[in-house]
Amino acid sequence: MSDNLSVLGKARAAYQPKLPSSLKNGALKVSINKGTATESVRDQEKIKALFPNTYGAPVVSFTPACGCSCGSESKAIRVGVVLSGGQAPGGHNVIAGIFDGLQSISKESVLFGFLGGPSGLENGKYIQIDAKLMDAYRNTGGFDIIQSGRTKLETTEQFDRCIKVANDLKLDAITIIGGDDSNTNAAVLGEYFQAKGASCVVCGCPKTIDGDLKNEYIETSFGFDTAVKTYSELIGNIMRDANSAQKYWHFIKLMGRSASHIGLEAALQTHPNICLISEEVKAKKMKLSEVVQFVADIVAERASQGKNFGVALIPEGLLEFIPDVGVLISELSEVLAHHEKEVEGLDTQAKVEKLCGWLNTESANVLKSLPVGIQAQLMLDRDSHGNVQVSLIETEKLIIEMVAKELKKRSDFKGKFAALNHFFGYEGRCAAPSNFDADYCYSLGFAASVLAFNKMNGYMSSVRNLTKGIENWTAGGIPITMMMNIERRHGADKPVIQKALVELDGAPFKYFAAHRDVWAKTESYTYPGPIQYWGPSEVCDVTNFTIKLERGAM
């Protein structure tokens, strides 16, 4: 790996991430301060019944213990690590933090990496991560040190296989690095382990570029900062091109199916002419036709000024938040599940006519109003549960086609509308982490080693006060159960970590809403450029707008 590093890669490998003061002296020199008992965000009785062994644990924070040489080394511990779900910048630094934390406990401590995600844990496929291997991946993007996977651990047979693997390797702890679903898995697995009297504990680390795993104690999920800065560089490049040629509208779809945090942060960084926020669309109960009219109005207003160009940001999950389209998607999933054979082999137009007979009138009208290409995607692309895969729908193309159709109907529109579409998603998931993510992830991993050493079962690593300077970051852990609620998943009630959506009364959205009208009419574009790794702290260590606005730091 090290032989393949670029000049930048070699320089980044030498970067030593910074740690909060509570972790600087190593995992043994940490005092653990416990708060009061916690409860879940909702459905307290149901969550408590499902997690009788781990529910109600306190939030813990770390402070520096004595700095003397006493207790400089302890008994070696053995820990396994799992990367779960989609990639996010900084994952390797979480593992590096765990590795270095374990080494600070004892040079004989061992870190195992399970290969390919949760399935590696279940099937006992692993490697031992030593210093040479770890050094080759420090401060790099991606999850390729052990790869990731999306296997869901949910049956007692799977849990028992995991216990056997943990016992065979004599593990003291397993750390699962993932998003809301993955950390829900961690909590369920930890509860099962404790119920069965296993000596191994299970901890989690908060990962997702979507930014929807956050709360009072998880101020941001790792990878979000780097991913949005990467997207914003690309958006800025397109803005510069749009303002240079002044003849195209660029519609850019951004990752974020369940929440619009990426789109909102990218808008705060780049100032586009249009940025749709799914949560606002849902709150206003905007129909698809109203969303199209909103976009068309801005295009027409700019055209009246002689500006036949612009940039629009579209969240990946927009369609599910539009009420009438959401109902259509739900009905289509049901209809296709029961009438698949009856429409098999028909062309798109014939399928639409057939399906409309089983849909309610409004949903049928919405389906008929969609471009043929989008109709085909809605009808053909279904997941293993029979649901339409919304993430595969080219929402940006849908908006372009329907806006063009709307503008043609307007006799007073004298401008030109030529549009190009883009999707920025995978470009940001494995980028080399920003200094913020490099430091944050390393701190999360180091904190996880403290949780593992102290047998904190069912906890998630937490690092807070992220706008106060790294020296003042507060490391600790929070019980995963306190973030949970009950949701209906595939016909059954399931405990899951509550997703954090964009808050329309929150400071980031309010700032955006106060400026978007000006951005719509003018070229207030900002060009963030590439992520900076060296230079003044206000340039290379800067946190993103979302965190700063949420924490009152700007």
Catalytic residue numbers, as ranges: 210
Spatial distance between the Cα atoms of 84 and 452, rounded to a whole number of angstroms: 18
Cβ pair 117, 179 in contact under 8 A? no
- N-terminal to C-terminal alpha carbon distance within the chain: 41
131 SS3 class = helix
Q: Which residues pair with 459 in a beta bridge?
A: 203, 479
For 445-464, give the secondary structure using H, E and C. HHHHHHHHHCCCCCEEEEEE
Q: Which residues pair with 64 in a beta bridge?
A: 30
- Token couple for 480: 């995963």
- Token couple for 276: 């749709």
Phi, psi of 284, deg, nearest 5:
-85, 0
**DSSP per residue over 244-299, as a string?**
HH---EEEEEES-SS--HHHHHHHHHH--SEE--HHHHHHTT--HHHHHHHHHHHH
Cβ pair 60, 37 in contact under 8 A? no
Phi, psi of 80, deg, nearest 5:
-110, 145
Residues sharing a CB contact under 8 Å with residue 290, sequence separation 6 or more, in sequence order: none
Spatial distance between the Cα atoms of 476 and 447, rounded to a whole number of angstroms: 6
- Kindly report the length of the chain: 554
Phi, psi of 169, deg, nearest 5:
-90, 0
Of 95, 79, 155, 78, which Cα lies nearest the Cα of 122? 155
HSE of 206, CA atoms in CB hemisphere, 13 A: 33
Cβ pair 260, 277 in contact under 8 A? yes
Cα-based distances in Å from 322 to 15, 90, 257, 291, 450:
45, 33, 13, 9, 44
Residues sharing a CB contact under 8 Å with residue 474, sequence separation 6 or more, in sequence order: 20, 22, 61, 62, 463, 464, 465
Cα-based distances in Å from 548 to 374, 426, 545:
38, 26, 5
Phi, psi of 65, deg, nearest 5:
-90, -170
Cβ pair 302, 523 in contact under 8 A? no
Residues sharing a CB contact under 8 Å with residue 493, sequence separation 6 or more, in sequence order: 46, 486, 487
347 SS3 class = coil
